[in-house]
Structure 1
């Protein structure tokens, strides 16, 4: 006669299943947003400092890409004065962006003051948003003013350019190291290797160009470096 295998209920105990069936589901209270702790609004100075920091990060990324392109072209050696001039140009572009956003906030505020009701999306501003839009306008205007002052500071421009240069070299060096890691075991320095130097440099330039394009896409994502940070 075949031996009967014990059921799961016999092994664990029937009483355990009975208790499980008899257990009631826990009732959860509906989410109450008013019960959340109130987050104090950031001060005007904090908003300006944060926006300035984000603008500088976007500016360094743009300047780094310029330096990489210049390195690929190989037309001129790196020069501190030209680098500082390029930094001033990048900061001027950031000033323009901040000024344009301040003007847009002013226009949106004027239009919102005539609209009642609730917003249907994040850029659908109404009368209740007027205060935030005014605040946003003032923050952007102050950021533009600070950036304009910084582009007139030689020490700041030198430090700004140096950080972008270092970041550019790190990216170029990384691409070179990756290429060496792939090809080093096969390298034999002979006449054929020397003749193929131009082709290797062309391929390296293509790799660096791809790196620049990736960085430019990141820059485009920061088109509005202060988005979501105020108002």
Structure 2
């Protein structure tokens, strides 16, 4: 490192020229929409999985395919709303940016040069909202969506149960006292699962803006 400074001491370097940087080419529109749909659906399944876990903890009613599909349809509606809101927000930012000259100082400092990217962002999210809305009317898709969320929910619940059994089973005799303490153990298990749901909800927030790395 010091050798480099010694060799280049006294040399004059050209000032940084932003215009000399290669043009950043965004991915094709359809690729962006497909990627956005995939991430939105992943976030939706996580949300639905958490709801199924909470329902299982309450133990209010058994599994029902029709109610599960209705819950999936509700989650998709929420995703449609999120995508619509993002598209509208991008349109508002584009309108403001179109009247601002100069260069951006940070990621969300939009100027006239960013108008095209903001328009692309608006169109991508509008298309995602449209396709999610269409999926809400596809019974086969809703059943598959709900089934995947249910399987993920059971995998998480069963993992917590297995961990509890691994910790407690070797040391607990199955006798009358064990049976009397069953309700308390179930409450502790429910608390463990509720904690898992909370952590999953926090991870869900990380997927709120699936196209942040492409444009904006």
TM-score in terms of structure 1 length: 0.84
Question: Is residue 141 of structure 1 aligned with residue 126 of structure 2?
Answer: yes
CA contact 1:112–1:126 (8 Å) conserved in 2 = yes
The residue that corresponds to 2:143 in the other structure is 158
Aligned to 1:4: none
Aligned to 1:176: 161
Secondary structure of 1:53's counterpart equals helix
- Matched residues, number: 208
Q: Secondary structure at the match of 1:64?
A: helix
Cα distance, 1:42–1:137 mapped onto 2, change above 3 Å: same
Q: What is the rounded CA distance, in whole Å, between the counterparts of 2:46 and 2:181 in structure 1?
A: 33
1:92 paired residue number? 77
Return the alpha-carbon distance in structure 2 between the equivalents of residues 182 and 34 of structure 1: 62
Deviation at 1:227, TM superposition (A): 2.5
Higher-Rg structure is 1
Could you report, residue by residue, the CA deviation over 1:21-64 in whole angstroms, capped at 9, with x for unpaired residues? xxx82458x89988987664310100100001110000000000
Q: Could you tell me which residue of structure 2 aligns to residue 64 of structure 1?
A: 49
2:84 is the counterpart of 1:131? no
2:20 matches 1:42: no
Which residue is equivalent to 1:118? 103
Alpha carbons 1:51, 1:226 under 8 Å: kept? yes
Query: Aligned residue for 1:75?
Result: 60
User: 1:54 touches 1:226 (CA, 8 Å); kept in 2?
Assistant: no
Question: Counterpart of 1:204?
Answer: 189
Q: When the two structures are superposed, what TM-score results if normalisation uses the length of structure 2?
A: 0.90
Deviation of residue 119 (structure 1)? 1.3
Q: Which runs of 5+ in 1 are unaligned?
A: 1-23
Residues in 2 aligned to 1:78 and 1:137: alpha-carbon distance in whole angstroms:
39
Tell me the alpha carbon deviations over residues 167-189 of structure 1, each in whole angstroms, 9 at most, x when there is no partner. Answer: 00000011001100100111211
Q: What is the aligned counterpart of 1:187 among 172, 175, 187?
A: 172
Stretches of structure 2 lacking an aligned partner (at least 5 in a row): none
Q: 1:211-230 alignment to 2 at 5 Å?
A: 211-230=196-215
| Per-residue Cα deviation, 1:105-156 (whole angstroms, up to 9, x for no partner) | 0000000000011112211110000000000000000000000000110000
RMSD: 2.2
